[in-house]
Amino acid sequence: MAFVTGLYLIDAPASALNNLGAIPGEREDNTAGVKVIKTKEGYFPYVSAQAFRYWLRTTLTERVPDWKAAPIYREEKIAYTDANPLFYWDDDLFGYMRAPSKKESAKARREADASRAGETETTDTITRVAPFRVSTLVSIAPVTPTNDFGTMTRQDGNPVPFEHQFYRTTLKGLMSLNLSTCGTFSYRNKTGFRNLDDVRIKQLEEIAGIGCRHRTSGNRKILSPPSSTASGAYQGTFRGHGLFGGGSQAGAALYRCLPCSRHLCRYQRRQSHLQLCRRRQPAGPS
């Protein structure tokens, strides 16, 4: 198996990348805090893996021109993508779970929804473990968040006080991309092993033609298109890392998470993975 593994170091000089929302019991009702892990050593600010993945997905969709993003559909209390990794790169890399309701009322609502005109029919429950994974990004040392007091005074009458927290630290996290599973799909009819239903298997066979390969690996039945079909997804992901941006309060302050480093890649055949090192570069105009 081949992996790309990497270490993220995000410089946060005076930042609030991860707002918690209102803090109960503070002196001002509209005090916005930051998310921290509380330990006996102190407070460790963090950015959740879900938040980081959201920032990366948004960056890829907005800044990588040829990125193929999956449409999102909503049903009452659930939402999901099209769950078709054959056409959408984020479904291939970030995984999915699709379990369509078999109730007649749910089917009728889906058929009546005009926004679903291009939706891929789903005949069975399908899931995919994400080839791209990232850890929670946590401060390398404990810090005490700073409370910053401000007022809104542009209106007539009394000023409106507010308060927010920020911190100064470096956030550290890990990433891993399983190159062996990018563009490779299991279709065994067992929970956790079924990436494609019969509709998607037929689509893949039509797209890949004679280049489509069926094989068995352990207890998995695997279907693989030509390798060139999958390369665009992970190449686009690394282009997105160079354009990466995200973070809360982006409209009020200039401390978003922006690219400030470059990747140095080295391939080691014996260990069968790529090592990514990040070197600081002078910050340029965003």
Print the domain residue range for 161.
3-280
285 is a domain residue: no
286 is a domain residue: no
Q: Which residues contact 215 (CB under 8 A, 6 or more apart)?
A: 222, 224
143 is a domain residue: yes
Looking at residue 17, what is its pLDDT?
A: 85
Query: Number of structural domains, the chain?
Result: 1
Q: What percent of the chain has pLDDT over 90?
A: 21
Question: Across the chain, where does the E strand assignment appear?
Answer: 3-15, 19-22, 31-34, 36-39, 42-47, 72-75, 78-81, 96-98, 126-128, 132-134, 137-139, 146-152, 160-178, 185-186, 213-217, 220-224, 261-268, 273-280
Looking at residue 39, what is its pLDDT?
A: 93
Residue 18 has pLDDT above 50, yes or no: yes
82 is a domain residue: yes
**Mean pLDDT computed over 253-282:** 42
- Quickly state the pLDDT bin for 274 (edges 50, 70, 90): very low
Report which of residues 8 and 259 the model is more confident about. Answer: 8
Tens-digit pLDDT profile for residues 19-61? 877 766 666 667 778 899 999 999 999 999 999 999 899 889 9
Q: What percent of the chain has pLDDT over 70?
A: 77
Residue 112 has pLDDT above 60, yes or no: yes
Burial of 87 (0-12, 13-18, 19+ CB in 10 A): middle
**Mean pLDDT computed over 16-20:** 82
- State the chain's mean pLDDT as an integer: 78
Tens-digit pLDDT profile for residues 113-168? 777 888 888 888 999 999 999 999 999 999 988 887 777 777 787 777 777 788 89
Query: Are the beta carbons of 19 and 249 closer than 8 angstroms?
Result: yes
Burial of 112 (0-12, 13-18, 19+ CB in 10 A): exposed
Tens-digit pLDDT profile for residues 168-195? 999 999 999 988 888 888 888 877 788 9
- Quickly state the pLDDT bin for 83 (edges 50, 70, 90): very high
First to last CA, the chain: 37
Tens-digit pLDDT profile for residues 156-175? 877 777 777 888 999 999 99
Residue 104 has pLDDT above 50, yes or no: yes
